[in-house]
Amino acid sequence: MRNKILVIGDYVTRNVDSCRWNDNLYNLTDYEIVIIDTSSLYKEWSIPSPGEYTLKQWSEVTRSIQNNFTYIRKKIIESLLIDTQILILFNPNSTLSCWQDYTHDSLQTNDWFPISVETQNENGTTVILRNKTYQEYFKRLKSWKYYYLPMENDDNDEIRQFYKPNILKVERDVIATNKLGQPLAMELVPSYLKFGSRGYTEQTSRIILLPATSEDSSDDIDTIISLTKSIDQTEAPDWVDNINIPNELKLKGELDTAENVLINARDKYSNLVNHKVLLFDFSYSLQNICELTLKELGATIKPSIVTDEFIIEYNGKEALIEVKGKSKSIHKDDIGQLITDIGQHVAETGKPIKGLLIANGWRNLPPKERETGNRKTFPKEIVHIADTQNIGLLSTIDLFEAYCHWLDGKLTKDKFLNTLLNSSGIIRFNS
């Protein structure tokens, strides 16, 4: 079952509802999962870093956002009463001030949040993960700019402003720390008394605070959605309907005309067109369809002992697979993770292994609009690293086309797998 997801921030996709900070906000309590991106809020005011800033005047956008802060605070408190999960890409607080009509006014950028959270500005790189649920997310975090300070005893007062029951406490479960044990990410756990037919019972909820891993939050939000496992498969964009896969129209005709083979034809058709997921997905289903496609093309699939992905084997040769779906180009951190996993595999098994990075770069664009200009799935620096490390680079578009050529009888399994396992750098197949 698909959970209803809301994103507050500059993020647009067909999979979830989204609204900007100055929009007419959706009702947070209508959703099972709410993701709040404060990085986009700071961009609205062009705030480069935490601090104090003076504005010449309050703009209409600023006033609209300020009014929405009160609404968001109220709805977060209401969400504590139900099963809504709130995940926040958090940023330290900043102060905006303005002198207008001889009146001084100020605004805190985190006034929307009903729980006091204090941070210490400091740069660092060491990340110690305490909750493996977020392992995939923290693979992306290479440095941090702040950590959280201990919570004060009066944190609960802000919640009482919006909801009458007495809050017992606000505890926190640490997700990740720096080397000194100072929290870099955490789950806030507000607990309170709720009155029901059996008297007062203690209720608890969770609010998850995560650091942004880059200036562009879209990939962070993609990763968070993937971690929640709320979407079994990304909804196909409109342009996918215009892409024909071999045998699609033929099998579609069988479904419409041959009643005696209807069930069998429908299953074949569904399995066939499911390979279009290779062109637009980013989540666990992208990994699953890559694994299925490679298996259909003759590879033996084996589990990896060092990652949650897999190994392929053919004619005694093996490759450790890393699958990535990105809204932009592949980053050096992505191939860096594969290199780390290869090293760990060697340490665990004592055997070298080839690496293969399968990537769906610029996944929101039709294939014909990719691989042009600065829209390369694999930039030059990635190709150079791959060549020197004996790592193959395969775009999901090329995997999709190889699958289509195999269906048409233009590519053999043997040629596909030998090319795949004996090439480094960008891999393409001549039919």
Sign of the alpha-carbon torsion through 274, 275, 279, 285? positive
Indicate the pLDDT class of residue 50, thresholds 50, 70 and 90.
confident
DSSP readout, 16-45?
Answer: SEEE-TTS----GGG-SEEEEEHHHHHHHT
Task: Check whether 276 has a pLDDT greater than 80.
Answer: yes
The boundaries of every CATH 3.40.1350.10 domain in the chain are 238-426
DSSP state of 367: G
CA distance 101 to 99: 7
Over residues 111-137, the pLDDT tens digits come to 898 888 889 999 999 999 988 888 888
Over residues 363-379, the pLDDT tens digits come to 999 999 999 888 999 99
Main-chain phi, psi angles of 31, to 5 degrees: -120, 150
Indicate the pLDDT class of residue 198, thresholds 50, 70 and 90.
low
Q: Mean pLDDT over residues 305-323, rounded?
A: 92
DSSP three-state, residue 339: helix
Q: How far is CA 64 from its chain centroid?
A: 28
* Amino acid identity for residue 100 in this structure: Q
Tell me if 274 sits within 8 A of 251, measured CB to CB. Answer: no
Over residues 12-21, the pLDDT tens digits come to 877 788 999 9
DSSP state of 119: E
Q: Quote the tokens at residue 315.
A: 């004619």
Q: Quote the tokens at residue 152.
A: 């004060």
DSSP three-state, residue 208: strand
Q: In which element (H, E) is residue 368 found?
A: none
Check residue 155 and give its pLDDT: 47
Q: Mean pLDDT over residues 71-99, rounded?
A: 84
CATH of domain 238-426: 3.40.1350.10
The residue assigned the tokens 């290479």 is 142
| Of the candidates 285, 278, 220, the residue with the CA atom closest to the CA atom of residue 402 | 278
DSSP three-state, residue 303: strand
Q: Mean pLDDT over residues 79-106, rounded?
A: 81
Check residue 206 and give its pLDDT: 80
CA distance 360 to 284: 13
Q: How far is CA 93 from its chain centroid?
A: 24
Task: Check whether 259 has a pLDDT greater than 60.
Answer: yes
pTM over 0.85: no
Q: Quote the tokens at residue 85.
A: 């999960």
Lowest mean pLDDT: which of 223-227, 277-281, 344-348, 385-389? 223-227
Check residue 3 and give its pLDDT: 67
DSSP state of 48: -
Task: Check whether 168 has a pLDDT greater than 60.
Answer: no
Radius of gyration of the chain (CA): 25
Sign of the alpha-carbon torsion through 9, 12, 16, 19? positive
